[in-house]
């Protein structure tokens, strides 16, 4: 295949051995490399570790753009050094997706509070100080079970279902796989969480959704268009049966035309994504090339129609993805290279 459109790097985390052995054909992103090659776009692996930041800077200086798959927390590290490097790369005229500044706008839990007035929003509170958390969260629990979320995190880390069971006692369940429900003094539990305010910039508080057992819909987006869906019956935050925690069901992937999700697709493409971008000050051309929005089912309407509640937006490292997504990613990369 003759390269006509430019050269990009696909960046993901790994150690020295992973860097030395990385190839497009053997990486987990092989289908994305194939889709890019089919459009005449050269792409190379860029395996990142903090101790290789200088070598990575040299490599990224030779490409036109960078697609990034790195979680907020990885291998005991955060993204501080990587984000500084990516900002430098972007400032030099190369596009980066997702840009760290875009992640700070839409890829943190605070987006649930900032966009709570959109059609996907609920009674969402954001405690920016420990004083606010100590004062306001106990009153919030009077409305029923709540879900606390770290502003930055992944894999269920720092996501808790909390329910008051006595004047000073709460029943809590962590979203991490294998967690068990426990009853604790509310003050002691809140003390565990207070460190998030300083480290993550705040704590999100949302009402627990009673239809959580009906599953979560992951809406995969290529910029401002739906490129597929995932549906999973999750067990995190569902009070476990007497025998202990259950394993979640598999996530089933579907293309963008899957009939049960067409109302959600319309809402995402014509209302919620444009409204979010305007509210957060994100230009259409700066929306991530691949991102997803996780929805729970809200209360049904009087006509029996489903509603949807946003519980998270994932931007930093969206993978695995539906079968239709690699081709959509390649089309968007081609368009952004052409726009340069």
- Tell me: pLDDT of 240 over 90: no
| Residue 251 banded pLDDT, cuts 50, 70, 90 | confident
Element (H, E) at 60: helix 53-60
* pLDDT of 324: 96
* pLDDT of 197: 86
13-67, pLDDT tens digit by residue?
Answer: 998 888 889 999 999 999 999 999 999 999 999 999 999 999 999 999 999 999 9
- Tell me: pLDDT of 245 over 70: no
Q: Exposed (0-12), middle (13-18) or buried (19+): which is 142, by Cβ within 10 Å? A: exposed
* pLDDT of 2: 46
3-state secondary structure of 72: coil
Average pLDDT over residues 321-330: 97
Provide the token pair at 241.
Answer: 């049966």
| Residue 1 banded pLDDT, cuts 50, 70, 90 | very low
3-state secondary structure of 297: strand
* pLDDT of 158: 85
* pLDDT of 241: 64
Provide the token pair at 172.
Answer: 């809590």
* pLDDT of 244: 55
Note the maximum CA span of the chain: 70
Provide the token pair at 209.
Answer: 């959704």
| Peptide bond just before 98 cis, omega within 30 deg | yes
Average pLDDT over residues 165-180: 90
Q: Exposed (0-12), middle (13-18) or buried (19+): which is 220, by Cβ within 10 Å? A: buried
135-172, pLDDT tens digit by residue?
Answer: 999 999 999 999 999 888 666 788 999 999 999 999 99
* pLDDT of 294: 96
Q: How many other CB atoms sit within 10 Å of the CB of residue 134?
A: 14
Query: Domains along the chain?
Result: 7-98+333-339 (3.40.50.2300), 106-120+211-321 (3.30.470), 125-207 (no CATH)
Euclidean distance between CA atoms 28 and 9, whole angstroms: 14
Bridge-partner residues for 295, per DSSP?
Answer: 217, 310
Going by C-alpha positions, the residue among 315, 126, 280 that lies closest to residue 272 is 280
> What mean pLDDT, rounded, does the chain reach?
92
pTM: 0.92
Contact yes or no for 292/318 (Cβ under 8 A): yes
The radius of gyration of the chain's CA atoms, rounded to the nearest angstrom, is 21
How many C-alpha atoms does 333 have within 13 Å on its Cβ side?
34
The residue ranking higher by pLDDT, 158 or 130, is 130
Contact yes or no for 28/299 (Cβ under 8 A): no
């Amino acid at each position: 295949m003759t390269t006509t459109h430019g050269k990009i790097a696909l960046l993901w985390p790994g150690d020295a051995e992973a860097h030395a052995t990385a190839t497009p054909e053997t990486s987990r992103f092989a289908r994305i490399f194939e889709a890019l090659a089919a459009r005449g776009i050269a792409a190379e692996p860029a395996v990142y570790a903090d101790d290789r930041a200088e070598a990575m800077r040299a490599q990224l200086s030779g490409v036109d753009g960078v697609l990034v798959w790195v979680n907020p927390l990885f291998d005991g590290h955060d993204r501080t050094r990587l984000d500084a490097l990516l900002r430098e790369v972007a400032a030099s005229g190369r596009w980066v997706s997702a840009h760290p500044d875009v992640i700070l706008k839409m890829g943190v839990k605070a987006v649930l509070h900032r966009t709570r007035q959109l059609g996907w929003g609920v009674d969402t509170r954001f405690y920016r100080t420990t004083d606010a958390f100590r004062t306001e969260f106990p009153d919030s629990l009077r409305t029923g079970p709540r879900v606390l979320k770290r502003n930055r995190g992944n894999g269920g880390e720092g996501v808790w279902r909390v329910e008051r069971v006595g004047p000073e006692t709460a029943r809590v369940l962590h979203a991490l796989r294998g967690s068990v429900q426990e009853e604790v003094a509310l003050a002691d539990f809140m003390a565990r969480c207070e460190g998030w305010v300083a480290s993550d910039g705040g704590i999100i508080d949302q009402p627990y959704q009673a239809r959580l057992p009906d599953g979560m819909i992951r809406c995969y987006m290529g910029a401002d268009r739906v490129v597929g869906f995932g549906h999973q019956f999750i067990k995190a935050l569902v009070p476990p049966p007497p025998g202990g925690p259950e394993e979640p069901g598999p996530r089933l992937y579907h293309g963008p035309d899957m009939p049960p999700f067409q109302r959600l697709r319309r809402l995402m493409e014509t209302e919620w994504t444009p409204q979010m971008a305007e509210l957060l000050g994100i230009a259409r051309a700066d929306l991530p090339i691949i991102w997803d929005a996780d929805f729970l089912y809200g209360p049904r309407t009087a006509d029996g129609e489903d509603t949807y509640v946003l519980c998270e937006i994932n931007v930093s490292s969206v993978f695995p993805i539906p079968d239709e997504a690699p081709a959509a990613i390649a089309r968007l990369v081609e368009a952004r290279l052409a726009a340069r």
